[in-house]
Structure 1
Amino acid sequence: MQENAPLLDVRGLSLEVARTGIKILKTISFDVKAGEIVGIVGESGSGKSMAARAVIALNPPAVQRTAGTICFEGREIGGMHKRDLQALRGARIGMVFQEPMTSLNPSMTIGRQLEEGLRLHRRLTGRERHRLIVDMLARVGLSDPRTALAAMPHHFSGGMRQRIMLAAVMLLKPALLIADEPTTALDAVVQRDVLELMVDLTRENNTAVLMISHDLAMVAKYSDRVVVMSQGEIVEQGDTRDLLRAPQHPYTRKLLSALPHRMPARAVEVSPMARITVDGLIVDFAARRSLLRKGQPKRALNGVSLSVMPGEVVAVVGGSGSGKTTLGRTIAGLIEPTDGQILFNGKSVQPSAADYADYRLNCQMVFQDPYSSLDPRMTIGSLIGEALRHSTELTSKEKSARVAEVLDEVGLSAAFATRFPHQLSGGQRQRVAIARAVVRRPQFVIADEPVSALDVTVRAQVLKLFAELQRKHGFSCLFISHDLAVVEQIADRVIVMNNGVIVEEGSRDAIFDHPQQDYTRKLLQAIPALFSTDNGGVELGWRFDEVGRKSAGGRP
């Protein structure tokens, strides 16, 4: 490779589906230099992941290259023998995939999985491999790396699994690391820790990084240059700070305008009775048994008390394991509490109560992953209509009309009623999940991370839709999220949880502008914020710093 030549040089790359001729990438060109971090951003379907996978020839067999070159360290990837490609993957180019639980083998111990790459690419003794693995696991923050070697992937949290994936990749000290959405669905503090770790590890070895993400704040913070993609084309690229501050292409400005932003505080009508009241809620999970000993039960919720007023949107935030989702599922009746009580319109909610069925019909839930919560064998019309199955006040004709009405409300035509979930995009499936929740006109909706896996523009559309439906039908909402920017846009009141207890609560403005607890402040400062500039761009800043105070009164 020539001196000062790019480590990775992609020129005029085009990909298309062989049978249909559909163009996936259209003559794209970019490069990555040694030690440089380059971010690729764009909406779902823009071709980001396909471009990254093409670098290591991991595209599906039906996708073929029709034009262009991919040169890594001066060698053309396309002309490599299969044996040479296998030697390149892992040893010189590593990849961290979006979901570590699916990329880690669930049937193999962590030690075996980390040793696999060293066996393939390094001539080392078993003792040398063991030492390197233990040292790397300690380096990525595992408190007991030797014990971790015998553990399975499901024994670890999402953040820890992502750390283990980084350890597996960086053990081989590759020249290029491809990170495909490395922090999706992780909470604020864990996102920061994982990305800081990734940057530290790559700097130690002068490893270049190609980072694919829809999180513009993270790209702004950690990348040197950014590539903006839309519909298989690169519409703009350049220095990250300059490009985001003064974007030239309308599509880039569209992406930036879709970022969540704080709306004026709503005036929630005061009611003498809360829609939902939770008093002293305790949830214990059974102990995990082992062959030689019985473990201790885990207390997921420890005396939680809160209320949600009619028409109010209350957001619950906190780190992974704080009890957010357990709280939502317990209120929804999906988890049985150990102690405490839940009141709906002032009446105690008990499975044995005569009006319990009425409560369950009036309390609906939007789950985090619509693909796993929607039955793949049912049509969209059947999935939405299922929520009306126990409705006695509507005739069959009226139920069909209600399904058509709610499809229209969520921005989908009546034609979608005959389709199946796999025929819809992620954003469309989330709209269906919301339609299922609101079709009965419930009084209370629990939304558990409803936009965590959506790209910037789709997320903005779904949030706008959710807010419009909430205003139109007036349901109360418990909005569970780790995305603080989303919470800042949609919430009236915010509850902060940590280790199963509420550490702080208050109005949205009070929590975001004047947090009282150190934990809340730590959450808010964990993720960089993007503040609007006068020329349609954004500027990187941190909450409570000088940029934040100068930009729109400290509001992103």
Structure 2
Amino acid sequence: MTSPPVNAETPASTEAPPVSDPLLRIRGLAVDYRTGREWTPAVRGVDLHVEPGEFVSLVGESGSGKTTLIQGALGLLPAAARIRSGSIAYSDVDVTGWNDRRMALVRGNYVGFIPQDPNTSLNPVKRVGQQVIEAVRFNRPRGTPAARYREAALESLRTAGLTDTERVFHQYPHELSGGMKQRALIAIALAGRPRIIVADEPTSALDVTVQKRILDHLVRLRAELGIGILLVTHDLGIALERSDRILVMRRGEIVEEGPVERVVAGATSEYTRRLLDAAPSRHAGRLTADSAVRPQPRPGAVALRAEGLSKTYRLRNRAVLRALDTADLTVREGTTHAIVGESGAGKSTLAGILAGFVAADHGTVHLGERRLTGLPRKRLRELRKDLQFVFQNPFTSLDPRFTVRRLIAEPLRAFGLPAGDRVTELLAAVALDGSYLDRLPSQLSGGQRQRVAIARALALAPRVLILDEAVSALDVSVQAQILRLLVDLQAERGLSYVFVTHDLGVVRLIADDVTVMRSGAVVETGPAEQILTAPRHEYTRQLLDAVPGALV
């Protein structure tokens, strides 16, 4: 482990810095972005430090300045950004203003960086071993034998928690699971034997069980190697469960800092208290509607029923992938039925068949008493007015060229129905006023875009909404707003929801019934309270154990 070099020509010293020096200290850092001819502040006078062996979490929503702060600390700011003031020091060596060549000697052999998305961070045309070797070679003295590079790369893969490293070494990224790809990024970050790891949302795209394994491993590395860890996340549950200290960032400033126990027991910032209140793992019970009037479902009435659904896909190598295996599902009228499971469980395939987007090989789907499967396309289109879909990412599901007015009116016009005041009424139903009607999706926040997507789905007055990971891409406070909106709409309109998610914390807030899926099969189904408090299947227990924060 090395200290930062003092110049670009001399090699990094092998002498460990004094224990009293923080591994990273940022003082009064201010970063601006150029917008036209002006500079706009993104980070405003931030102080931050990480001690040896310490786990620190930097928490904040999208746009809070977290990523800009980390980019500044690593010397990775884009050309349109500048450090206006402040200092950055590693083990008391001030690196503020260092050029990329000098900072390259710090990155890797002193600070390891784990980016968010392994799908974009790993080179898809290079084997994993080659990519780890490149990191090893960069951080080892010149002239080191090639065999040593290979040995060091394999050791780094083992340290990152990968088994069967010889096989992984020769595989391409697309041949690895999401968790394995993230561990490969950890191996690259560890290749230079760093003193500190900076991890930028390293688990946000992973299933809850894979997320737990990755975080457990980072904690073990801290204990075994004395590495300091700075975790950047919007997931307050993870930060509360894993950290020694938490820093809460908002609008470019640190608004709260302290040990976890102190922040939970006595947060001084109103914003921090709102984040704590919005975190799913902090809620003790199900959300209830604000509306006092709730349409009463008919006793025993079923809104949507699927029986014996199966689906297989034939891959290019002629292998057969069984995506769904004789799945059954019953959605009671006026209730929320959650479908949970990891990636590859078959959740989205099931949702696609229910919505009529995917044709099942076998089985039937009924909307109320009406059969959907096997209908002519024209008849199925008519029935779809009663069954609408809300996608995960509203930025890609909303046409970027359409205004909000046109987006909401589109399904009405498609069925020859008048739009008129109906668009404004639908917008009001999702708590947006008329000032948004002429905006484009790019002029809306993530939460506002999802509200527009929900308003569009409600345009034809459906009986059933299928929501496929509809809140997983949202910040925790925006997620709480959308969940509250869904609960209120259900109470006002008697809607039935199929809610596809991997987040059991969210399930506890809104679900009446739960179906747990694994490898294309239903392993458990029943009332939410029973599934969450007394699961029968070991896989369900594993999912519950992996949720950050206690499910109480």
More deviation, 84-93/268-277? 268-277
Q: Give secondary structure in 1 for the equivalent of 2:339.
A: strand
For the Cα contact (< 8 Å) 1:173–1:207, is it kept in 2? no
Question: Structure 2 vs 1, CA of residues 118 and 376 (structure 1 numbering), >3 Å: closer, same or farther?
Answer: farther
Kept after mapping to 1: 8 A contact 2:505/2:547: no
Q: Bigger CA drift: 445-454 or 399-408? A: 399-408
Partner of 1:461: 481
- Shift in CA distance, 288/241, structure 1 to aligned 2, threshold 3 Å: farther
Match of 1:280 in 2: 308
Tell whether the 8 Å contact from 1:110 to 1:149 is kept in structure 2 after alignment: yes
| Offset of residue 139 of structure 1 | 4.5
1:217 aligns with 2:237: yes
| 2:35 matches 1:12 | no
Aligned-pair distance for 1:436?
2.2
Which residue of 1 is the match for residue 327 of structure 2? 304
Q: What is the deviation of 1:271?
A: 4.0
Is the 1:14–1:24 contact (alpha carbons within 8 Å) kept by the matching residues of 2?
yes
Deviations 1:316-365 (Å, cap 9, x if unpaired)?
A: 11222211121111211222212111111222213543631123332221
Aligned position for 2:105: 87
Change (3 A) 1:517 1:350: closer
Q: Which residue of 1 aligns with 2:190?
A: 170
1:272–1:89 CA distance, 2 compared to 1 (3 A): same
Residue matched to 1:538 = none
Moved more, 203-212 or 219-228: 203-212
Helix, strand or coil: the match of 1:88? coil
Q: Deviations over 1:263-284 (max 9, x none)?
A: 2789973445422111011111
> Match of 1:46, SS?
coil
Q: CA deviation at 1:80?
A: 1.7
1:348 corresponds to which of 371, 387, 391: 371
Select between 211-220 and 56-65 the one with higher mean Cα deviation: 56-65
Residue 43 (structure 1) aligned to one of 52, 58, 61: 61
Q: 1:521–1:58: structure 2 CA closer, same or farther, 3 Å change rule?
A: same
- Whole-Å separation in 2 of the counterparts to 1:6 and 1:228: 20
CA distance in 1, matches of 2:354, 2:288: 26
The answer to whether the Cα contact below 8 Å between 1:421 and 1:429 also exists between their aligned partners in 2 is yes
The percentage of counterpart residues that share the same residue type is 38
Code of the residue aligned with 2:201 in structure 1: it is E
Picking from 420, 429, 434, the partner of 1:409 is 429
Query: 1:28 is paired with a residue of what secondary structure?
Result: strand
Q: Counterparts of 1:476 and 1:418 in 2: how far apart (Å)? A: 30
Q: 1:323 to 1:221 in 2, by over 3 A?
A: same
- Residues 1:78 and 2:96 aligned together: yes
Tell me, yes or no, if the aligned pair for 2:517 and 2:523 is still in contact at 8 Å: yes
Partner residue of 1:25 out of 19, 43, 48: 43
1:108 aligned to 2:126?
yes
Query: What is the alpha-carbon distance in structure 1 between the residues aligned to residue 361 and residue 184 of structure 2?
Result: 34
The answer on 1:495 being equivalent to 2:495 is: no
**1:410/1:431 contact within 8 Å kept:** yes
Contact 2:447–2:474 (Cα < 8 Å) also in 1: yes
Match of 1:357 in 2: 381
Residue 44 of structure 1: how far off its partner (Å)? 2.1
Q: CA deviation at 1:55?
A: 0.6
Runs of 5+ unmatched residues, structure 1 = 530-541, 544-554
Paired amino acid for 1:519: Y
Distance in 2, Cα, partners of 1:216 & 1:501: 32
Shift of 1:472: 2.1
Cα deviation 1:433-480 (Å, max 9, x = unaligned): 222222222121111111112222111111111212222222211101
Supply the AA of the counterpart residue of 1:444: V
Equivalenced residues, count? 523
> C-alpha distance in 2, partners of 1:105/1:271?
56
Aligned to 2:137: 119
Match 2:396 to one of 354, 367, 372: 372
1:232 aligns with 2:255: no
Does structure 1 conserve the Cα–Cα contact (< 8 Å) formed by 2:64 and 2:250?
Answer: yes
**Distance in 2, Cα, partners of 1:391 & 1:238:** 56
AA in 1 matched with 2:61:
E
**What's the secondary structure of 2:38's corresponding residue?**
coil
Aligned to 1:328: 351
Q: Give the structure-1-normalised TM-score.
A: 0.89
2:394 maps to a residue whose letter is P
Which residue of structure 2 aligns with residue 382 of structure 1?
A: 406
Partner-residue secondary structure (3-state), 1:184: coil
Greater shift, 367-376 or 124-133, is seen at: 124-133
- For the structure 1 residues 327 and 142, does the alpha-carbon distance in structure 2 shift closer, same or farther, using more than 3 Å as the test? farther
Partner SS, residue 166 of structure 1: helix
Residue by residue over 1:90-135, the C-alpha shift from the partner in whole angstroms, topping out at 9 and shown as x without a partner, is: 2222222222212222333323322221232224433222233334
After superposition, the Cα gap between the structure-2 partners of 1:151 and 1:359, relative to the gap in structure 1 and judged at 3 Å, is farther
Is the contact between residue 365 and residue 437 of structure 1 (CA under 8 Å) also seen in structure 2?
yes
Matched, 1:513 2:533: yes
Q: State the one-letter code of the partner of 1:310.
A: E
Measured after TM superposition, the shift of residue 70 of structure 1 is 1.0
Alignment of 1:441 onto 2:461: yes
**Aligned equivalents of 2:299 and 2:133: distance in 1?**
61
- Residues 265 and 15 (structure 1 numbering): CA distance in 2 closer, same or farther, change over 3 Å? closer
Change (3 A) 1:455 1:287: same
**Counterparts of 2:338 and 2:178 in 1: how far apart (Å)?**
22
Of residues 191, 199, 219, the one that matches 1:199 is: 219
Contact map agreement 1:91 1:172 (CA 8 A) in 2: yes
Q: Secondary structure at the match of 1:169?
A: helix
Given the alignment, which residue of 408, 421, 428 partners 2:448?
Answer: 428
Contact 2:336–2:511 (Cα < 8 Å) also in 1: yes
Distance in 2 (alpha carbons) for counterparts of 1:380 and 1:259 = 29
Task: Tell me the distance in 2 between the aligned counterparts of 1:119 and 1:345.
Answer: 63
Alignment partners' CA distance in 2, 1:373 and 1:130? 45
Q: CA deviation at 1:57?
A: 1.9
- Partner of 1:548 in structure 2? none
> Do 2:32 and 2:42's aligned partners in 1 also have CA atoms closer than 8 Å?
yes
Deviation at 1:12, TM superposition (A): 1.0
Task: Give the counterpart letter for 2:83 in structure 1.
Answer: R
**Aligned twin of 1:539:** none
C-alpha deviation, 1:313, in angstroms: 0.5
Moved more, 246-255 or 142-151: 142-151
Q: Gaps spanning 5+ residues in structure 2: where?
A: 1-16
What TM-score comes out, normalization by structure 2 length? 0.89
Deviation string for 1:246-295 (max 9, x for gaps)? 22222221211122322278997344542211101111121341xxxx4x
- Corresponding residue of 1:480: 500
AA matched with 1:370: P
**Which one-letter code corresponds to 2:343 in the other structure?**
S
C-alpha distance in 2 between matches for 1:448 and 1:159: 22
